[in-house]
Amino acid sequence: MSRTGWKQVERGAAALVGARRHWANSGERVDADSPLFAQQAKNPKEMSLAELERLVEEMTLLGIDSGRIPMVVVKRSAGRPTPVLVVLPAEAWRLVRLLAGLDKPDLTAADGEAIAARYAKLSFGGLVRDCLHELPGARRRVAAYVEKSKRRGER
């Protein structure tokens, strides 16, 4: 039985970050073209936690290299409605909270505007690289995963 919902999942994931989906054979490691997020979307019938960790590591490395926040969007293909999950490494979540100004307990709308104006003047890529940390051996693991998936023809 053919699965046809993956394209809609990728479109929906791209819409989450205000981007457009790359076509399937574009050769890009990310599924959506966003200046703020390095995003990969998946619509598997099942996915192991180890596979999810590899995808997060891959997006983290791309995020560090390109100055974007890493994100993996997963929606399980189950023949019934399932929730869309957004997975970020903890450092990326802290960065999102910092950029959104959510670290203040008594935040007002004026505070949010001031925070946005302050961060608009900063180099976003530098901030991402400062906040994200590469796990030991991650580049080697991701390179092996990418090579293996290319041989399988999945990417």
Residue 90 counted as domain residue: yes
pTM higher than 0.75: no
Please name the residue that has the structure tokens 């041989």: 151
Whole-angstrom distance, CA of residue 112 vs CA of residue 55: 32
Which structural domain, as residue segments, surrounds residue 70?
6-152
Residue 36 counted as domain residue: yes
**Residues written for the chain:** 155
The model's pLDDT over 40-78, given as tens digits with 9 standing for 90+, comes to 889 899 999 999 999 999 888 888 888 888 899 999 888
Whole-angstrom distance, CA of residue 102 vs CA of residue 97: 5
How many domains does one find in the chain? Answer: 1
CA dihedral 102, 87, 89, 132 (to 10 degrees): -80
- State the average pLDDT over residues 2-12: 77
pLDDT at 155 over 50: no
Residue 1 counted as domain residue: no
- State how far Cα 124 lies from the chain centre: 16
